Amino acid sequence: MRIGFLSDLHRDRWYLADPADLLAEIAHEKRLDYLVLSGDTAPGADAALDFCRRLDAAMPAKLRIVAGNHDIYVPDIKGRTPAQIRAESAAFYTRITYESDYSLLLHPIVTPRWFITGLGGWYDYSFAPGYPQVDLDRISRARAARWFWSDNRRVRGGCFDYRIDVARVEEDIRTLRAVLTSSAAAGRRKCAVTHMLPTRALAHSIPLPGYGGILPLLGSERYRDLYEELGVSLCICGHTHFPLRRRIGEVCYANVSLPPLPLRRHPFSPKREMMRIMLILEG
Ligand SMILES: [Fe+2]
């Protein structure tokens, strides 16, 4: 069984080639049985699921996904109230995570050796320097979060309440705990997939003004705590566009997000770049 993992295709940012065609070629050439996309496929669930249907039809491998923050963006927020934006974004998350045939949470990959599950994940500001001795309300309302981060406009509808974010991560932890301790997972190595970072140790330090304000929006340390507690072997994530792999204690982490064009090793060959970043698990 061969399973490929890749993240952050951002379909809307491709102008020359359709990544669905390229991915289908890769799945064929690499003899993948499954392809897992860990989020930020396209803006909004309609576009993301439409892309998934085209990809699914074009390749022999089965497709599994988790929801990235862009996948639950409300594309057209004009004329919508904050409450409508929040409700629509929440409905997008539900469609991808709890209703789609491609949902990795609903349809985990089970091989003789591996149990692979996951969900999009969120952030709870636990990456903030000094956490937990920090003012979560202040950090969640920082300028970077308010004005620069599109999640504010397209997921929250401009409404700030850090408690909603924290509750969201806590619900994820309950869900992941239930799935990872299910009978199907027993006796198998566990792999957990999120879009968000499961630990701050995977965030690059970038000497950019304002980066300190973005860092708390990249994920949650709670995922790492859970993985260590439950003996998860492999954790896949994306979101940052800085791919990397590292081992922390007994847990292997892989960020499989495609880098932005200026940082690509193969800027003129998106297919080669995708093959470079993709992690292929045999099991
Ligand atoms: Fe993202």
Output the CA 194–ligand 1 centroid distance in Å.
Answer: 10
With contact defined as beta carbons under 8 Å apart, do 141 and 217 qualify? no
87-107: per-residue pLDDT in tens?
999 999 999 999 999 999 999
Helix (H, G, I), strand (E, B) or coil at 58: helix
Q: Which domain holds residue 23?
A: 2-282
Distance CA 137, CA 190 (A): 35
At 209 the pLDDT is 67
Confidence of residue 11 (pLDDT cuts 50, 70, 90): confident
The whole-number average pLDDT for the span 111-125 is 97
In a 10 Å sphere around its CB, with 0-12 CB exposed, 13-18 middle and 19+ buried, how is residue 48 labelled? buried
Output the CA 256–ligand 1 centroid distance in Å.
Answer: 12
CATH number, domain of 56, equals 3.60.21.10
Q: Which residues contact 203 (CB under 8 A, 6 or more apart)?
A: 127, 197, 215, 218, 219, 240
204-235: per-residue pLDDT in tens?
776 666 677 789 999 999 999 999 999 999 99
Output the CA 69–ligand 1 centroid distance in Å.
Answer: 5
Distance CA 85, CA 261 (A): 31
The whole-number average pLDDT for the span 167-173 is 97
Distance CA 251, CA 187 (A): 17
Distance CA 71, CA 175 (A): 20
The count of structural domains within the chain is 1
82-94 helix and 45-58 helix, angle to the nearest 10 degrees: 20
Output the CA 6–ligand 1 centroid distance in Å.
Answer: 13
Output the CA 137–ligand 1 centroid distance in Å.
Answer: 22
The whole-number average pLDDT for the span 237-250 is 94
Average pLDDT over the chain, rounded to an integer: 93
Output the CA 241–ligand 1 centroid distance in Å.
Answer: 8
The whole-number average pLDDT for the span 36-50 is 96
Q: What angle do CA 33, 121, 43 make, to 5 degrees?
A: 75
Distance CA 48, CA 95 (A): 11
Output the CA 278–ligand 1 centroid distance in Å.
Answer: 17
Output the CA 38–ligand 1 centroid distance in Å.
Answer: 9
Output the CA 27–ligand 1 centroid distance in Å.
Answer: 23
Output the CA 74–ligand 1 centroid distance in Å.
Answer: 14
124 φ, ψ to 5°?
-130, 15
Q: pTM of the full predicted structure?
A: 0.95
Strands 109-110 and 62-65: unpaired
Q: Which residues contact 110 (CB under 8 A, 6 or more apart)?
A: 116, 184, 188
Task: Tokens for 265, please give them.
Answer: 């090793």
